Amino acid sequence: MKNDPFALWAPTAEQVELLLVDPADGDERRIAMETDGDGFWRPVGGLAEPSGDRPLDYGYRIDGSATVLPDPRARQAPYGVHGLSRTFDPEAYRWSDRLWTGRQLPGGIVYELHVGTFTPEGTLLSAIERLDHLVELGITLVELMPVNAFNGRHGWGYDGVLWGAVQEEYGGPAAYQAFVDACHQRGLGVIQDVVYNHLGPSGNYLPEFGPYIADGPSNTWGETLNLDGEHSDEVRRYIIDNALMWLREYHVDGLRLDAVHALSDTRATHLLEELAVEVAALSAFLNRPLSLIAESDLNNPRLITTRDGGGYGLTGQWSDDFHHALYVSLTGDTTGYYADFDSLAALGKVFENGFFHDGTHSSFRGRAHGHKIDTLRTPTWRLVVCSDNHDQIGNRADGQRLSGKVSAQQLGLAAFVTLLSPFTPMIFMGEEWGASTPWQFFTDHPEPELGEKVATGRREEFAQMDWDLSQVPDPQDLATFERSKLVWDELSEPGHADLLDLHRRLIRLRRTYPDFCDPQFDGGTATSDDDEGWLLVERGAVALVVNFRSGEVEVPLAGGAEELLTVGESALRPESVWLAPHSAVAVLRG
């Protein structure tokens, strides 16, 4: 495929024609294509590979149709997901990261951002101007929400349909290369969020080319791909090639795999394991670490168990249980799926065991959920934890951040617990200074009926959470998108600047004492008291003491201790520690 950029997999087609258009003068050529019986079509007589400085627009006609379809593997979509594709030579870019040796997940701190709302301009090039802020904060890995081409001018990116093309409004593929290169020059790794569990509702032409889509019903978000039916070998190849593209051609350091529980795969070797095998091989060839981080609703440790241990071999996964337990401890909100976390013991259990639901009953699901992690063999850093992320904020009725629900001092507690946990911490853009802007669900579907369908679906989904549906903003309203953009002038304002400084100090502290990052689950214990509202986490020579309540408490703490960092007010006593309301202290044990 690499040596034939116009090759096309269309196993059910009887005739394929390639349309080439020179964007400089509009000159068109129609070229017949032929198949060699393996389902791939190639131009009759072959074509020279286009040079990077003279791109061509192109598309395909299937079985005499008047409609010209974009390339499913397109690297650029200058006219949107319904228009012609454009050739792009990734090797034309002159990289300056030849000495880059990568960033591993262990010991890392992740920063999740959405390109369209990270800066006022909403582009990859403008995002480069804010990278020094992340370096000063102490971030090691920048995680971009999906940038693949989707219909409309703005959106979250999870409705993508051209997985190999970078959204033009963000700057396209050349700007993406420049962004990754700029990150590497600053010592920042890049993790790209990718979506293989469904396709967006507008611009999905894959069924026109072949059996890409699975038989049967779609999942919650859209049509699912054919991972285990007839012709599924090439569909899986399509997905794996796309994953390798980001890692190889764009020098990306890892992938965040969206909602892998929605990947329907009954084959003996699951797609995730197959992907992990190929990424490991590429990592060995490139001589730098490459990470695969799953988002999963299953609480299934098999995802992050090594392959020689019988698992899929993924590097890590997001931990919803950590978020839910911390969120309830801070807000007292026990609606919907938060109900099971109505105890500080839930947060303590996550610290000790990784999952809260590890075979326990889930009241939201009405059944047992999850499986125990082998804490003797699984390092803590495989779980990526946060106090806020795009999902948890944007999927609240009003799209309010944690900063819109709790006090400034409670935001300090959230940072304290997350950044000093033994897991891999993740910060959602703006969280580090308590951004006042919401993060709401926004779309730009050109089709009015589709926009209304999405808005109605969200209201129905929120009904399960007993939320005020009048607070749900219209996703199609441009104001919903605009109000979700960060306001960088807040950084220097009182309160915001203090929280930012606290984040910096917490990250420095995390890197000063190794017990905070100790990857052994059995290296720590957690104790809590719901009546008094305190949590004590002890890990080696360090301990975290947190008062989540609005009254002062005294927490038993045997032996001498030295204060390392305090949020709010605390006082060490011979056999205890006193904490003011909504305060916390990290101590070094004698």
pLDDT tens for each residue of 561-572: 999 999 999 999
- Residue-wise DSSP of 306-372: -GGGTS---SEEE-HHHHHHHHHHHH---SGGGGGG-SHHHHHHHHHHS-S-SSEEETTTTEEE---
Using one digit for the tens of pLDDT, what is the confidence trace for 2-39?
Answer: 458 899 999 999 999 999 999 999 999 999 999 988 89
Q: In what order do the strands lie in the sheet with 16-21?
A: 8-9, 40-43, 28-35, 16-21, 57-62, 85-86
Measured from the Cβ of residue 268, the count of other Cβ atoms closer than 10 Å reads 7
Rounded to 5 degrees, what angle do the CA atoms 127, 326, 135 make? Answer: 25
- Region of residue 434 (phi > 0: left; psi between -120 and 50: alpha; otherwise: beta): left
Can you tell me the mean pLDDT for 241-249? 98
For residue 543, list its beta bridge partners. 538, 587
**pLDDT(329) > 70:** yes
Matching residue, tokens 């892998």: 260
What gap in Å lies between CA 481 and CA 477, rounded to an integer?
7
Confidence (pLDDT) at 269: 97
Can you tell me the mean pLDDT for 493-497? 96
**pLDDT(47) > 90:** no
Can you tell me the mean pLDDT for 474-486? 96
**Range name among 51-60, 128-137, 439-448 with the lowest pLDDT average:** 51-60
The residues that are catalytic are: 258, 295
**pLDDT(458) > 90:** no
Handedness of CA 300, 306, 309, 310 (dihedral sign): positive
Using one digit for the tens of pLDDT, what is the confidence trace for 133-187?
Answer: 999 999 999 999 999 999 999 999 999 999 999 999 999 999 999 999 999 999 9
Can you tell me the mean pLDDT for 93-109? 97
**pLDDT(512) > 70:** yes
Q: What is the pTM of this model?
A: 0.96
What gap in Å lies between CA 416 and CA 586, rounded to an integer?
9
What gap in Å lies between CA 74 and CA 94, rounded to an integer?
21
What gap in Å lies between CA 567 and CA 288, rounded to an integer?
38
Confidence (pLDDT) at 463: 63
104 DSSP 8-state letter: -
C-beta of residue 106 within 8 angstroms of C-beta of residue 379? yes
E-only strand ranges, 407-488: 424-428
**pLDDT(590) > 80:** no
Confidence (pLDDT) at 217: 81
pLDDT band at 464 (very low <50, low <70, confident <90, very high): low
Written as six digits, the tokens of 400 are 């309010």
Can you tell me the mean pLDDT for 503-519? 97
Which residues, including other chains, have CB under 8 Å from residue 171's CB and lie 6 or more apart? 123, 124, 125, 178, 179
Confidence (pLDDT) at 52: 53
Can you tell me the mean pLDDT for 390-413? 94
Can you tell me the mean pLDDT for 94-102? 96
**pLDDT(87) > 60:** yes
What is the chain's alpha carbon radius of gyration, rounded to the nearest angstrom?
25
- Secondary structure (3-state) at 164: strand
50 DSSP 8-state letter: P
Confidence (pLDDT) at 2: 45
pLDDT band at 489 (very low <50, low <70, confident <90, very high): very high
Going from the N-terminus, what domains does the chain have, and what CATH number goes with each?
8-92 (2.60.40.10), 524-589 (2.60.40.1180)
Give the percent of the chain with pLDDT over 70. Answer: 96
Confidence (pLDDT) at 53: 66
**Range name among 90-104, 263-277, 460-474, 504-518 with the lowest pLDDT average:** 460-474
Confidence (pLDDT) at 51: 54
Can you tell me the mean pLDDT for 427-455? 91
